[in-house]
Structure formats: structure tokens, C-alpha cells
Amino acid sequence: MIGKIIIGKSFKGCISYCLSPKQGQAERAEVIHYNNCYGDKNELIRQFEELRGHNLKLGKPVMHVILSLAPGDKVRPGLKEAIAQECAEDMRFADCQYLAISHNDTLHQHIHIIANRVRFNGKTVSDSNNYRQIVRFCRKMEQKYNLTKVLNPRRYLSSVNQLIPREDQRKNALKRAVNRALLAAKDFKSFLSLMKLSGYEVDKGRGIAFIDAQKVRTKGSEIGYSLQSIQENIERLNNRQIISPRQYRGMRM
């Protein structure tokens, strides 16, 4: 499981993003838990903004937590709700206003939790060390629910452990997706479509980069694929000739 926390300013933007379907797509969001809030998108925005008014000095009242399961991990809806509630307990906003949303628009399951950092007494939910806290929470959930274990970010390891080489599952998954797309792509446009089907946005300029569902951006050069090498691979694979067994035997002679 991978956890990400975004501290932001706009409840309207965050709630709208999480609950609204993307252009050209069917419904992708399901609210799996309401805590001290209720209703549709507009009602939720109004309630969160009203509570925000109890502490106008706080410039960033939005805590947006994204919990992403590893590809292949599947949990039932009730367990998603339980994980969201345990996250609220661990991050100390269980008594606050928050809602948990399940998205189905990627190849892996993931949960969005939108919490109001303004408590009902006007005090603030601290965001100190929240990145370390979410990493510890993910490791705990992996162990408790037998989920695929994901490596901690290197910056949270001890200085000794930071020196130990390790595999980067995110980059390995991206490299596999690029390999599959290259083998099937007829041209660069179809390569982009195939990468999108695998859950990646492609940022093409002078070079190329890939953005996964967690909005993590990885340069193509980091996985051994520059823009030039991708274009050359597509051209080479499409220009190759299929050799018949008779031709092959003739070449050997």
C-alpha cells in the first residue's frame, strides 16, 4: 500500500475532483464512509466550508489522503471502509469532519479521504510529520490485512539502510508497461493510448515522462527509455520483416 497526503486550501476543488466523473467516463466514485457530514457534492462543500469558518486563520484546512493498494491486491468494500476509519484514528482526525471515497478508474484499488483540519472546537489537526505517519500506517495495514508489502520511501530509512541497493517497484511496473506498449504500438499515437490504458499519463516535450495514478512523475530516462529510444523502438518493431521457416533455413545455409 502506498499513502500520500496533500494539505490544501480548497474543499470545493478537492471534493469536486474526488466525486465528479472524468470527462467521457462513467461514474468512478463511491462514498464508502461519512463522518460528521452527509449529502451530495454541493451539500458536503457547504458543510466543510461552514466548519472552516471556525478557524479562518488556518490557510490550508484540507487534508487529502490517498491510499493505493498494490496492483493485484483486492479488498471488499467493507474492508476499504475499515481501512479509511483506521487511517483517521492513526492520523488523529477521527473526531473531525471527513469522508472516504473509493475510485474505480484505475487498474488498482485506491481510496481518497478528505478531512477537515478544523475541529469542531476550532482547533487545528496538526500536519507535523504526517508523511512519516502515513508510511507507518501503510506498513501496519499490509501486515494486518496480508497486503503486498511496498518499500518505505528512502528518506524515511536509517542512514545505514539508505546505502543498501533495492528494487523500485514503481519504476519496475512502469518499465513493464512501456515494454508491453512498445510491442503492441503501431505508432507513437497508439503508444500513448496503450500507456493510458495501463494507467499512465504521458508528458512529452523535449523528453518524455510518465505520471501514474498517484501523480508521481517519472522521467523515461530513469527507466532506460528516452523519447528518442521509444520512437526508434516503435519504428524498428514496425519495420521488421517476418521470416518464414524456409527463409530462415536458407539464411543458416
Distance between CA atoms of residues 228 and 236, nearest Å: 12
In order of 119, 123, 168, 199, the CA distances from 173 in angstroms are 40, 42, 9, 11
What pLDDT, on the 0 to 100 scale, is given for residue 116? 98
What pLDDT, on the 0 to 100 scale, is given for residue 148? 83
Closest CA to 35 of 93, 117, 83: 93
What pLDDT, on the 0 to 100 scale, is given for residue 3? 92
Of residues 159 and 212, more confidence is placed in 212
* DSSP letters spanning 188-244: HHHHHHHHHHTT-EEEESSSEEEE-TT--EEEGGGGT--HHHHHHHHHHHHHPPPPP
Lookup: cell for 106: 484505475
| Residue 250 clears pLDDT 80, i.e. is over it | no
At 160, the pLDDT band (50, 70, 90 cuts) reads: very low
What pLDDT, on the 0 to 100 scale, is given for residue 145? 92
At 157, the pLDDT band (50, 70, 90 cuts) reads: very low
E strand intervals along 22-155: 29-35, 62-68, 98-103, 110-116
Distance between CA atoms of residues 106 and 48, nearest Å: 28
Tell me how many degrees the CA angle 64-11-95 measures, rounded to the nearest 5.
Answer: 60
Residue 116's beta-bridge partner residues? 62
pLDDT in tens, 178-206: 999 998 888 999 999 999 999 999 999 88
Query: What is the layout of strands, in order, in the sheet containing 98-103?
Result: 2-8, 62-68, 110-116, 98-103, 29-35
| Residue 233 clears pLDDT 60, i.e. is over it | yes
Comparing 19-28, 32-41, 129-138, 152-161, the range with the smallest average pLDDT is 152-161
Mean pLDDT across the chain: 85
Residue type, 185: A
Residue type, 194: L
Report the first-to-last Cα separation within the chain, whole angstroms: 55
Enumerate residues 6+ apart whose C-beta is below 8 A from 110.
66, 67, 68, 69, 102, 103, 213, 214
User: What percentage of the chain exceeds 90 in pLDDT?
Assistant: 60
Mapping DSSP to helix (H, G, I), strand (E, B) and coil, where does residue 144 land?
helix
Closest CA to 170 of 200, 147, 137: 200
Of residues 167 and 163, more confidence is placed in 167
pLDDT in tens, 61-105: 999 999 998 877 888 889 999 999 999 999 999 999 999 999 877
Mean pLDDT of 130-150: 90
| Residue 223 clears pLDDT 50, i.e. is over it | yes
Side-chain half-sphere CA neighbours of 146 within 13 A: 2
Residue labelled with grid coordinates 457534492: 41
Mean pLDDT of 34-58: 96
> 3-state DSSP helix/strand/coil percent for the chain, to nearest 5?
45, 20, 40
What pLDDT, on the 0 to 100 scale, is given for residue 159? 53
What pLDDT, on the 0 to 100 scale, is given for residue 26? 61
